[in-house]
Structure 1
Amino acid sequence: MTFSKTLPAGPLGERLSGYRMERDGLGRSAASVFRLEGEGLPSLYLKVEQAGPFGELANEAARLDWLKASGLPCPDVIARESGGGRNRLLISALPGADLASASALTPLVRVELLAAALLELHRLPIASCPFDHRLENRVAVAKARMQAGIVDETDFDETRLGKSAETLFAELESRRPDREDLVVTHGDACLPNFIACEDGFSGYIDCSRLGIADRYQDIALACRSIASNFGDALVQPFLDLYGLTALEPARLDYYQLLDEFF
């Protein structure tokens, strides 16, 4: 669903007086994302989604608040609003560009920044994180999304194109790992969801799937994103920088399979 580029009505619209709004492709959020600019005003982002059982903006707001309280850089939550069948989230902008498009930085530097950002996140104590994304919970959500018919089968990875969501879900259940190496994960650790400038890392965005999960939840999507954006040659340097000395290909593939449902 697409949404209008006009500022919302009501209290939120009044708050945004003086801003102009343009559609933005920043990150990989399922919501429509708009960048707001105004003379002498701080840059903001407005996210808009259709209200419903699979909305993610409330999840994102809660996780941004928690991440900020944990001392890690991310956007500030400025306002939340629901009405007219839509949810809206207004957040601050971070300086720089996402790691997929930060052309002022070399690909290797961007890979280094991604590895460091994930290490910092994964060092947070899981006892402090209220968001439980262990497989028991995530596979259940994957099943609910499949049954609701919202899994996009046209967007599967090349090796899975042509298969049905039902076929992949059966594979998801049969191949489930027997252990989880739990850390606080980003949940969607692709290059567009990490922001940096020439001075260094600016922060994490699109955090609606942040939660306690196997570290391979992030490693798998980071490796796929690096290979897609920069080529396979930079995947091993990323793993070296992260400190993963013995890669487990089966777990890597499993979490890439899980991601097909989100």
Structure 2
Amino acid sequence: MTTETTIEMPRAWESRLAGYHWKGQTIGCSTAAVFRLSARGRPALFAKTDPTDPHGELPDEAARLRWLSANGIACPVVLAETREAGRDWLLLSAIPGRDLASSPHLDPDRIVEIAADALRALHQLDVAACPFDRRLERSIALAHARVRAGLVDEDDFDDERLGRSAVDLFEELQEHRPHDEDLVVTHGDACLPNLIADDGRFAGFVDCARAGVADRHQDLALAAWSIRHNLGEAWVAPFLSRYGGAVDPGCLVFYRLLDEFF
């Protein structure tokens, strides 16, 4: 294979992917190594890989992608998954288009409309039918486990939290935990690089490993942060207005804090 990585593809995929060029991807919020695969006259694909680990997310992502697709949500198709040489692997179809953080041809007002409409549609799925739990009890327990395992990247905290420890931040997280949850089916990591548009229309979600039942502010907080980062503060209010309904500013702050642990 032709590749920009020293990671060797699974042996089981060698025949299927012969002739593909592998190009590492740097945009996005996923912790996995991600590669775009291209070959003349053949469909583009994506491969994702992570070291096999109890905290790894690729098996979770495969299950969630299958469920989301079965429930009418546009997302990559899982073509294959395997575990080899201490690594988990996913082979995925490519969604046509570009992510909303890399779409200079789209006006900011159209970007926030696409993001708001896509999340609102996702949030209308039946919570009772979703088998994936990302409620606070579960998410805070996962955050605590990551702190104990030393997996929280303290150098990647938001500017206002740089210099603080993960232990200190976890204490703050517990102190500010909301009393109630407005539960929907969430994406879990709804920053603009994880929403794809094609020809000015929403084309699908990517990086869905944290999808599941959670408070709607989980998605609104990360989407608003990403819009502020990519488009500017002035576009946050139009995004929230387009999404509709009441928004709790305190919950936006809390769920952005929660994301520091993942």
Match of 1:248 in 2: 248
Post-superposition offset of 1:187:
0.3
Corresponding residue for residue 16 of structure 1: 17
Give the CA deviation at 1:159.
Answer: 1.1
Percent identity between the two aligned chains = 53
Residue 162 in structure 1 maps to residue 163 in structure 2: yes
What is the CA–CA distance in structure 2 between the aligned matches of 1:158 and 1:182, rounded to whole Å?
A: 29
RMSD after superposition = 1.2
Which residue identity lines up with residue 29 of structure 2 in the other structure? R
Deviations, residues 16-47 of structure 1 (Å, cap 9, x unaligned): 01211111124211000000001111000000
Q: Residue in 2 aligned with 1:131?
A: 132
In structure 2, give the amino acid aligned to 1:106.
Answer: D
1:38-77 paired onto structure 2 within 5 Å: 38-77=39-78
Question: Deviations along 1:181-205, whole A, 9 cap, x unmatched?
Answer: 0000000010000000114111000
* Cα distance in 1, alignment partners of residues 14 and 169 from structure 2: 43
Pairing of 1:142-161 with structure 2 (within 5 A)? 142-161=143-162
Judge which range, 174-183 or 192-201, deviates more: 192-201
Contact 1:153 1:161 in 2 (8 A): yes
Matched residue of 1:95: which SS? coil
Which amino acid is the alignment partner of residue 232 of structure 2? G
| Structure 2 partner of 1:173 | 174
In the TM superposition, residue 152 of structure 1 has moved relative to its aligned partner by: 0.3
Letter in 2 for 1:260: E
Structure 1: distance between partners of 2:200 and 2:72: 19
Q: Which SS does the other structure have where 1:196 is aligned?
A: strand
AA in 2 matched with 1:171: E
Alpha-carbon distance in structure 2 between the residues aligned to 1:247 and 1:180: 12
Instruction: Give the alignment of 1:98-113 within 5 angstroms.
Output: 98-113=99-114
Once the two structures are TM-superposed, the CA of residue 113 in structure 1 deviates from its matched residue by 0.2
Q: Deviations over 1:161-186 (max 9, x none)?
A: 11110011001111111000000000
Runs of 5+ consecutive residues of structure 1 not aligned to the other structure: none
- Runs (4 or more) in structure 1 with deviation over 2 Å come to 3-7
Matches of 1:6 and 1:19 in 2, distance apart?
15
Kept in 2, the 8 Å contact 1:102–1:197? The answer is no
Output the amino acid matched with 1:19. Answer: Y
- Greater mean alpha carbon deviation, residues 24-33 or residues 90-99: 24-33
TM-score, normalisation: structure 1: 0.96
Distance 1:248 1:199, change over 3 A: closer
Q: Given the alignment of the two structures, is residue 35 of structure 1 paired with residue 36 of structure 2, yes or no?
A: yes
Distance 1:215 1:19 in 2: 39
Q: Distance between the aligned counterparts of 2:145 and 2:69, measured in 1? A: 30
CA distance in 2, matches of 1:37, 1:236: 39
Measured after TM superposition, the shift of residue 4 of structure 1 is: 2.6
Query: Given that residues 34 and 47 in structure 1 are in contact (C-alpha distance below 8 angstroms), is that contact kept between their aligned partners in structure 2?
Result: yes
**Contact 1:151 / 1:260 at 8 angstroms: preserved in 2?**
yes
